[in-house]
């Protein structure tokens, strides 16, 4: 939501001076409570939103010194306060990179836990507004969750990754389609001709798997018929299904989302990696290095901050009519699981 309503528009509608409006919106006790309440109601009616950057500039003028560390919120909704941190799972951590980039612009990025006991969406939004926080970065949601209910019109918002499906916000994520395209090119360059695709583990965002699969199937169209393999059944598959599929189609390389799990299954099948089959990991896993396309989570966090600051500069709040997606293209990472095929 973007509003062109100005402070003067609110003052005119309320029949007061613009200074009265400004003081009322900041709950200044110099203005009678009844006037403050009336001005706030009119501002809401007109969809007036305070631009946080203009507010900071005015504070500089009033106080005669720079305002340090205006805050933005990093919002998580895991069952526990720090369940989103890497020590509790194997997903990438975008927070440190976002914090560092926010500091470059003079902002402080603070973590807020939406699942705090007794917390409601309205109370959560009131707390943020009382703190003067107008910008939100929505962290990845826990497995099985894909929506959040907040008063979005009050904030400029950017989501990380693709776990949030409702509402659809501006977001920053990895270029998953390019991940598979890069990988298939590498496989062909190194002499692999029968490349299989396996979802071996649960995903916190099915749309990621759809993009991987779309790129894989698109690439298959360019291959001779004898080199095209059906996707391993199951989303995710299981070891028994994988064994049947692998034994029938005999791939010489595998694209997988959990490489460590596949390595275990292949070992039980009596196959050695990379002697018998090459393996490429599509997804960052903290517990092991793996051949594949690597995404620096710090860069993704930094991109989210840059996108959010742009929205705040333009005073763009709420769920966007046209959602923007920023994609980070990853870099190839070598770990001896896909050597040139003899």
Cis before 19 (ω within 30): no
Picking from 34-38, 53-57, 67-71, which range would have the lowest pLDDT averaged per residue? 53-57
Q: From CA 3, how far away is CA 16, in angstroms rounded?
A: 21
Percentage above 90 pLDDT, the chain:
66
Averaged over 240-256, what is the pLDDT?
Answer: 97
The string of DSSP letters for 315-335 reads: TB-SS-SS--EEEE--EEE--
Could you read off the pLDDT of 23-49 as tens digits, one per residue?
888 788 889 999 999 999 998 888 886
Q: In the prediction, which pLDDT does 286 show?
A: 55
Residue 243 has pLDDT above 80, yes or no: yes
Question: Across the chain, how many H-helices and E-strands are there?
Answer: 11, 11
Domain spans, the chain: 7-48, 70-173+297-329, 176-294
278 CB-near residues (< 8 Å, 6+ apart): 187, 190, 192, 252, 253, 254, 291, 337, 338, 339, 341
Can you tell me the distance from the alpha carbon of 314 to that of 327, in angstroms, rounded to the nearest whole number?
22
- Confidence (pLDDT) at 60: 46
Tell me if 70-173+297-329 shares its fold with 176-294. yes
| pLDDT of res. 13 | 92
What's the confidence (pLDDT) of residue 313? Answer: 84
Preceding omega of 274 cis (within 30 degrees of 0): yes
* CB-count burial class (<10 Å; 0-12, 13-18, 19+) for 227: middle
Given this structure, which CATH class describes domain 70-173+297-329?
A: alpha beta
Give the CATH number of domain 176-294; options: 3.40.50.2300, 3.40.190.10, 3.40.1010.10, 3.40.50.300. 3.40.50.2300
Return the number of other C-beta atoms located less than 10 Å from residue 18's C-beta: 15
> Does the structure show a pLDDT above 90 at 95?
yes
Condensed to tens digits (0 to 9), the pLDDT of residues 264-312 reads 999 999 999 999 999 999 986 655 678 999 899 999 999 999 999 999 8
pTM: predicted TM-score of the whole model, two decimal places:
0.78
Beta bridge partners of 74: 111, 137
Residue from 336, 200, 197, 338 nearest 261 by CA: 200
Cα separation of 146 and 301, whole Å? 20
Q: Is 279 helix (H, G, I), strand (E, B) or coil?
A: strand
Is a pLDDT exceeding 50 seen at residue 83? yes
Q: Encode pLDDT of 184-230 as tens digits.
A: 999 999 999 999 999 998 887 878 999 999 999 999 999 999 999 99
Between CA 342 and CA 339 the distance in angstroms is: 9
pLDDT of 233 reads 96
């Amino acid at each position: 939501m973007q509003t062109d309503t100005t402070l003067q528009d609110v003052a005119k509608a309320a029949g007061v001076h613009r200074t009265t409006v400004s003081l009322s919106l900041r709950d200044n006790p110099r203005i009678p409570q009844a006037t403050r309440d009336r001005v706030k109601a009119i501002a809401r009616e007109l969809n007036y939103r305070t631009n946080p950057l203009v507010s900071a500039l005015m504070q500089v003028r009033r106080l005669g010194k720079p305002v340090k560390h205006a805050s933005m919120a990093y919002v998580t909704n895991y069952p526990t306060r720090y369940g989103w941190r890497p020590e509790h799972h194997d997903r990438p951590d975008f927070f440190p990179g976002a914090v560092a980039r926010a500091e470059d612009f003079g902002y402080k990025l603070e973590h807020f836990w939406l699942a705090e006991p007794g917390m409601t969406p309205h109370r959560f939004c009131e707390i943020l507004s009382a703190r003067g926080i107008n910008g939100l970065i929505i962290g990845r949601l826990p497995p099985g969750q894909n929506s959040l209910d907040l008063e979005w019109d009050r904030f400029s918002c950017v989501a990380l990754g693709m776990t949030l499906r409702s509402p659809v916000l501006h977001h920053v994520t990895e270029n998953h389609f390019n991940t598979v395209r890069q990988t298939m090119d590498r496989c062909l360059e190194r002499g692999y001709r029968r490349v299989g695709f396996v979802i071996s583990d649960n995903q916190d965002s099915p749309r990621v798997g759809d993009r991987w699969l779309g790129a894989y199937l698109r690439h298959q169209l360019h291959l001779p018929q004898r080199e095209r393999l059906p996707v391993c059944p199951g989303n995710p598959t299981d070891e028994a299904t994988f064994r049947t599929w692998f034994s029938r189609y005999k791939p010489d390389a595998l694209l997988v989302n959990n490489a460590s799990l596949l390595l275990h299954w292949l070992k039980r099948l009596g196959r050695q990696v990379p002697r018998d089959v090459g393996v490429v990991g599509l997804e960052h896993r903290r517990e092991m290095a793996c051949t594949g396309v690597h995404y620096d989570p710090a860069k993704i966090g930094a991109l989210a901050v840059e996108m959010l600051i742009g929205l705040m500069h333009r005073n763009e709040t709420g769920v966007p009519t046209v959602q923007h997606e920023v994609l980070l293209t990853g870099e190839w990472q070598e770990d001896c699981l896909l050597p040139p095929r003899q």
